[in-house]
Structures are given as C-alpha cells and as structure tokens.
Amino acid sequence: MNAVTQNKPATRVVIFGGTHGNEMSGVSLVKHWLQDPSELHRVTFAAEPFLANPLAVEHCVRYIDTDLNRSFSQELLSACSSEGDPYEVKRAREIYKKFGAKESYDFVFDLHNTTSNMGSTLLLCKADDYLALHLANYLQCNCVDYSFPCNVYLVDVEERNNVYLQNIGKHSLSLELGPQPQGVTRADVLARMRELVNCSLDFLDLYNQGKEFPSFEMDIYRVTSRVDFPRDVDGEIEGFIHKELQDRDYHPLKPGDPIFQTLTGDEQSFDGEKVIYPTFINEAAYYEKKVAFIATEKVHQVVPALRVQC
C-alpha cells in the first residue's frame, strides 16, 4: 500500500477519568495527575487530566441520574437547558463546551474499567480514525503484556447517533480494562492502564515530531449485536451466563455452544449461524441495560501509512 494518510498534529490532548464514578483505575490516575501532571508532559504537548463525573466519583457510583457516557448525542447537547435536566446531561454540556464545541480537542482518551474478563480493550468509535488505529497498533507492538492482551474493539456508529464522550474529539480512544470489580482498585489493572496511557502519549509525541508510521494489517472486533438474558413473562432473568462462557471474552463462540443455564439445570445454546466473539460477558453495569454479552465479529483491516501534515 503506497497511500499515506496525513493528519494535523495532536497537541490538544485530554484524558478523562471517572466518566463512570465507580471505575477506579481512571479515577485514581486522573486524581493523581491533577495533583502532579508532570507525567503527562511530552516534547510537543502536555495532556490535560479531567475528572468527568465528580459527583458520581464522590458517591462511588456509576452515575447519579443517567449514564454520562450515553449523554453526548447532538440532540441532548443542543437542547435548551432546564433546571430539571439530569445531572449527567448538564455535565455533558459543560464538557462539550470546554473540549468539543468551538474547536474539538485533537485527541480524547477516556479511561474505563469493566467487570468482564476483557484484558486491555482499545475501543474506537470510528472505523476511519487512522490516527487512533495507528495508536492501537503501536500499543499492541510496544506495550506487550500477555496477562492483559490488547484487543481492538470497534463500536461503529454514525456520527449523528454517537452518544459516547470520546466522540467529542477529532480523534479518540477509550481504554477498557478488566476484570476489576466496581468501586475497587486493583494494583495490576491500575499499573497496566498507566502504562498504556504513557505509551499512547509517547506515540502522539513521535507522530507530532514527524515520524512516519508504515501501513499495517490488524484484526478488529466489530460490534454486531447485544444479547439479553433469558427472561420470564414478568421480565425477570431466568437464565444466567453458563460456566463454559464465563470469562471467555474474545474467545470464539460456535453455534451450539452453551451460553445460559437456569437454576433448574436447563441450558440454552447459541443458535446463531456462524462463529461470533462475545465481549463484555456478564458485565455488572449492563444488567440494567438488559445485556448479557455483546456479540462481535472479527474483521481484518488494512490501515494506510500515517504521518503528520506539514
């Protein structure tokens, strides 16, 4: 591949933690960097740490009124404000005004934890964000930890339907690390997230200084559907994640493999027509969203070479 993608320098960089107030790796790191941001300084920029949902952090809950990371639709951001708006909607507008409204920040990082066995998940919202894809490849090649493998995960949604915080930036990447319980800090997960952030900033610094990154090929897990638990006529869950599926995020799930089991011993098997790759298996925060796991397909993508635009 001879084509080279050129983007502007990424000098305005923000790192969000506490988008969900009980996901403690990002909360802990951002609180630390707010006290001492020197770790975030590079030759060509200094990244800005920002605590996204301070009230939820204070109460150590995911959110106060509604999920902040589902509050960045253009409809919500542009609607007339009122006193009765949910706290997170007000907060989303404040964040958007600071980091995305007039001139979006060049790169947005959003730090998350999951209770699922997801390792180091590098989550993108745009299939054509080549700067973010090159960053993800750089992390896979230069930040290797076999206990926390890096998987690239794509929630490919149209711009007008994108409700996630990271979408306010020109380029973005969410780090989704697990397993880690809600409201708990695990030292190994915290250290891994810190390493990934610093490695990411190193990449952006190299990119800003003119280093050209060659084309490459990679596998991406693209979201295809969300699978609910089996429920009875009253809407109550009657089947739980099968022991053979638990903790097997990113492992292939074949038609006929067990996915749910009941207290009476009955089993339900996957009735799809092709292999899928389940993710966010038994994620605690997704019970309220009626999601038992998220199905993905593995997509092979060729990414063109990249260098900064002179």
* Residue 79 in domain: yes
Q: Do 52 and 188 share a structural domain? A: yes
Q: Do 213 and 240 share a structural domain? A: no
* Residue 134 in domain: yes
pLDDT at residue 1, rounded to an integer: 47
CA distance to 25, 49, 111, 151, per residue, from 191 (Å): 9, 17, 13, 18
Q: Do 138 and 102 share a structural domain? A: yes
Q: Do 106 and 26 share a structural domain? A: yes
Report the half-sphere exposure of 92 (CA within 13 A, side-chain side): 30
* Residue 8 in domain: yes
Domain that holds residue 266: 227-286
Q: Do 187 and 84 share a structural domain? A: yes
Q: Do 209 and 153 share a structural domain? A: yes
The pLDDT tens digits for 106-163 are 999 999 999 999 999 999 998 999 999 999 999 999 998 877 889 999 887 666 678 9
* Residue 296 in domain: no
* Residue 294 in domain: no
Q: Do 251 and 165 share a structural domain? A: no
Q: Do 85 and 196 share a structural domain? A: yes
Handedness of CA 283, 285, 290, 296 (dihedral sign): negative
Mean residue pLDDT across the chain:
94
CA dihedral 83, 20, 171, 144 (to 10 degrees): 170
DSSP reduced 3-state for 106: coil
Q: Do 145 and 270 share a structural domain? A: no
- Whether the link from the prior residue into 179 is cis, omega within 30° of 0, is yes
* Cα 306 from chain centre: 23
How many other CB atoms are found less than 10 A from the CB of residue 175? Answer: 24
* Residue 189 in domain: yes
* Residue 244 in domain: yes
List the CATH number of the domain containing 272: 2.20.25.160
pTM: 0.95
The pLDDT tens digits for 245-267 are 999 999 999 999 999 999 998 99
Q: Do 201 and 252 share a structural domain? A: no
Number of domains in the chain: 2
Q: Do 174 and 89 share a structural domain? A: yes
List the CATH number of the domain containing 56: 3.40.630.10
pLDDT at residue 206, rounded to an integer: 98
Q: Do 196 and 140 share a structural domain? A: yes
